[in-house]
Chain A
């Protein structure tokens, strides 16, 4: 039956890999936002040549499973690319997660960019601001605020998706759990601990979202 002392023993061991999971999540989050904003802006201006390329990219990344993408990149591309062959699993996972989440974030941001009324853009143009200044200082901050719920949704999905990293041999929360399980076979205690840790993390992110939302509310 449920072994309480084993549970309390294994919990901190698994939780000690929290930093790997968080590092992976935050790194990928930063790059996803950069990718997401870039693609969204390209779509916003329908920039020649780049726009169809990004559409194709989105179609592929949103139209295939993440696990397939991870395997294709880490095992498949390793056959044709020295760089991938020599890449650490953690780096590979971070990269694929960035590319994948970036695709989803771009859609969240794109809609929000369109929600900023054209009157403000005309005001900016009237004053002599450049398109770049306008998008950076007026449109994006407002779009960011509008897309905040969607972005947090993407972020939480990203956090959960990092649990696939163990498939490439990364020792994150999930990876640690797997190796503990191989020794003790106490899967119930181990995966209960895993569930609780991820759940608490997600609650934390949701709380952060609420705080940021309230901050934004006070403004605009």
Chain B
């Protein structure tokens, strides 16, 4: 369902941050991307909805492929309509309440009526346990609550794939649990997900597949058991030693 072929990215035209990435992901897979800091995990994820424009390569989500070398604005919009992203810093609209954050794109992009949008908003806020705070502005919510609204907002778009970039790493430790539980719930509903995270134990629990990145390439690709229990590569070993101690 997702096809990434020969993906390259360089920000300055000299150093390659992504080096010839090739991945194909099936519907329903929960893919966790692990790797040390600065290895290009976020860049890879952001290339999937062109928040970062790749330098070269083709990305296909759904039926239509988009070529980094030649594409139109319309194709970018098309690509974006297949996915939704949850950000490390939540990025909620600060001038909108929790429910308005969810309704915004439903009305302005998906062309739904206010009532429809509201119904969807209420249903998803209930799902992430934020119904009582539906009329709160982001500034009045904790980080964990904001992130749960962020997840609801992404789900509202009814994406074919949910992209999550370190959704818990900006949170105070005591708030991480509530957000991981929410993500697990979404995963159990059969969503397709690509999750960048440093929470190795969590990845092990929910992921069906793990990609390990180092220096802009994927150096390991397999089930959590294969990658985490008997790591072969020295870099994976070191990463696990560090992150699991």
A120 an interface residue at 8 Å Cβ cutoff? yes
A126 an interface residue at 8 Å Cβ cutoff? yes
A219 to B139, CA, bound (A): 8
Interface residues of B in 103-140 (CB under 8 A from A): 104-105, 108-109, 137-139
Distance between A216 CB and nearest chain B CB, rounded to angstroms: 10
A126 to B109, CA, bound (A): 11
Question: Which residues from A are CB-within-8-Å of B105?
Answer: 124, 127-129
B104 & A137 in contact (Cβ 8 Å cutoff): yes
15 A/B residue pairs, CB under 8 Å, sorted by A: A120-B92, A122-B91, A123-B85, A125-B80, A126-B49, A127-B104, A127-B153, A127-B157, A129-B104, A133-B108, A137-B104, A138-B95, A142-B94, A220-B95, A220-B138
Q: Which residues of B contact A (CB under 8 A)?
A: 49, 51, 77, 80-81, 84-85, 87, 89-96, 104-105, 108-109, 137-139, 153, 157
B137 & A220 in contact (Cβ 8 Å cutoff): yes
B108 & A220 in contact (Cβ 8 Å cutoff): no
A126 & B137 in contact (Cβ 8 Å cutoff): no
A126 & B80 in contact (Cβ 8 Å cutoff): yes
The 8 A-B pairs with the shortest beta carbon distances in the complex, nearest first, are: A127-B105, A119-B91, A123-B91, A128-B109, A141-B95, A126-B85, A220-B94, A220-B137
Question: Which residues from A are CB-within-8-Å of B80?
Answer: 125-128
A123 & B92 in contact (Cβ 8 Å cutoff): yes
A142 to B157, CA, bound (A): 24
- Interface SS of A by simple majority: helix
A17 an interface residue at 8 Å Cβ cutoff? no
A142 to B108, CA, bound (A): 18
A139 to B123, CA, bound (A): 27
Also in contact, A125 and B104, with CB within 8 A (given A120-B91, A220-B95, A220-B139): no
Please, which residue of chain A has its CB at the minimum distance from the CB of B50? A125
Interface residues on A, range: 10 to 19
A141 to B138, CA, bound (A): 15
Distance between A141 CB and nearest chain B CB, rounded to angstroms: 5
A215 to B153, CA, bound (A): 26
Also in contact, A129 and B93, with CB within 8 A (given A122-B87, A123-B87, A137-B104): no
B91 & A137 in contact (Cβ 8 Å cutoff): no
Question: Which residues from A are CB-within-8-Å of B104?
Answer: 127, 129, 137
Question: Which residues from A are CB-within-8-Å of B93?
Answer: 120, 123-124, 138
A127 & B109 in contact (Cβ 8 Å cutoff): yes
Question: Which residues from B are CB-within-8-Å of A142?
Answer: 94-95
Contact pick for A122, options B51, B77, B108, B153, CB 8 Å:
B51
Question: Which residues from B are CB-within-8-Å of A117?
Answer: 91
Please, which residue of chain A has its CB at the minimum distance from the CB of B49? A126
Question: Which residues from A are CB-within-8-Å of B87?
Answer: 119, 122-123
A137 to B84, CA, bound (A): 20
A123 to B80, CA, bound (A): 11
B137 & A219 in contact (Cβ 8 Å cutoff): yes
A220 to B84, CA, bound (A): 25
Interface residues of A in 102-127 (CB under 8 A from B): 117, 119-120, 122-127
Question: Which residues from A are CB-within-8-Å of B109?
Answer: 127-129, 133
A39 to B138, CA, bound (A): 30
A141 to B104, CA, bound (A): 14
B94 & A125 in contact (Cβ 8 Å cutoff): no
A164 to B126, CA, bound (A): 59
Bitwise, A137-178 to B at CB < 8 A (1) or not (0) is 110011001000000000000000000000000000000000
Residue among A123, A125, A129 having the largest count of chain B Cβ atoms under 10 Å? A123
Distance between A31 CB and nearest chain B CB, rounded to angstroms: 25
A138 to B105, CA, bound (A): 11
Also in contact, A219 and B95, with CB within 8 A (given A119-B89, A127-B105, A128-B81): yes
